[in-house]
A = this chain, B = another copy of it.
């Protein structure tokens, strides 16, 4: 059976290409003496999380507790939740996870630490906590190394918690991250709280991760599949992209327009620097100009070849992570051959 027999729209994952992307990153990290802790938000599949560990990752990263619960259920033994856990319901779930495996969390305010300290009181099995630092991406994180130290001391003072280090989601180009970590590390060491982990992240600058010399680990996510956005960042080429959306031409009302059965509920409305909502492999000059929910409206005015209703085409999405969250399953392929269909176990784990 080939993927052309599949009904559309659906997700195809070129398993060898994904594996090659994973291997390349692990080889790089090994060479640099950097630990990898891949983020599973991109694939949401225990199969690939296990493969990442097998290749040498020290553990995985999840963004949501629900993702961590799915991965723990599949036997993953070491999970960093790179997210502030807030509220009694989530703390109770975190406690259950922590009873079963190594789980590490984040904090960027004493409110988080208070929550953790109230829920975790066993000094013999403390909860590891990383202090999140805003090194320039202007998302979460304390604003200065001084604030990082103050929170580290709060963590260290709680019997049921263990200060493990710092974490950041860096700005593009990793600008300033190393200096930030250096200053914070110095202050922490002086205060008798040497960080064992300095965790940096992101796929765009994955192959520059070694320039953050103070980082001990890196958390890339999208590097497994790549997408148009990552290709724009220089992480690879279109032919390295492992995930495509298979779609069908359902209408061709004019010579310069055709319509695909993949709209914003399949490709998402995420944009990137390249034009349109995805790259059509078979028609590289076509532009997916407009997405309605279930229609991709393609400007074919610059296409060299014409389409026929019923043609199946493959799209490299702009941003692959939210796309794999929209489908209940992915189809692993090897060339044209359909190898296996897998349920996206952590799809829709929003909480």
Give the B-binding residues of A (Cβ under 8 A): 7-10, 41, 63-64, 83-84, 86-87, 89-90, 108-109, 111-112, 132, 134, 138-143, 248-254, 257, 259, 261, 264-266, 268-271, 290, 292-295, 297, 308-310, 321-322, 325-328, 348, 350-351
Contacts and interface: CB of A to CB of B under 8 A. Distances in A.
Given A10-B351, A83-B294, A293-B321, 6 more contacts: A7-B87, A9-B351, A41-B293, A84-B250, A264-B270, A264-B322
B251 A109 contact: yes
A251 B140 contact: yes
Nearest to A133: B253
B266 A350 contact: yes
Given A63-B293, A293-B63, A259 B139 contact: yes
Nearest to A11: B350
The 4 closest A-B pairs by CB, nearest first: A140-B251, A111-B309, A7-B89, A269-B269
Contacts of A109: 251-253, 309
Contacts of A252: 109
A293 B350 CA distance: 10
A2 B283 CA distance: 52
29 contacts: A7-B87, A7-B89, A8-B351, A9-B350, A10-B350, A83-B261, A84-B250, A84-B251, A86-B248, A87-B310, A109-B252, A109-B253, A111-B308, A111-B310, A132-B251, A138-B297, A139-B251, A139-B290, A140-B250, A140-B253, A141-B251, A143-B253, A143-B254, A261-B351, A269-B271, A293-B322, A325-B326, A327-B348, A327-B350
Contact of A86 (B141, B143, B293, B310): B310
A81 to B, nearest CB: 11
A263 to B, nearest CB: 9
B297 A139 contact: yes
A297 B308 CA distance: 43
A140 B252 CA distance: 7
Nearest to A245: B350
Copies of this chain held together in the complex: 2
Contact of A269 (B134, B141, B270, B348): B270
A130 to B, nearest CB: 14
A250 B86 contact: yes
A222 to B, nearest CB: 10
A108 B294 CA distance: 16
A98 B265 CA distance: 26
B140 A295 contact: yes
Nearest to A293: B321
Contacts of A251: 84, 108-109, 132, 139-141
A160 to B, nearest CB: 20
| Among A252, A269, A308, A325: residue with most chain B CB under 10 A | A269
A112 B266 CA distance: 23
Given A108-B253, A309-B109, A294 B41 contact: yes
Contacts of A139: 251, 253, 259, 290, 292, 295, 297
A257 B7 contact: no
A7 B90 contact: yes
A60 to B, nearest CB: 15
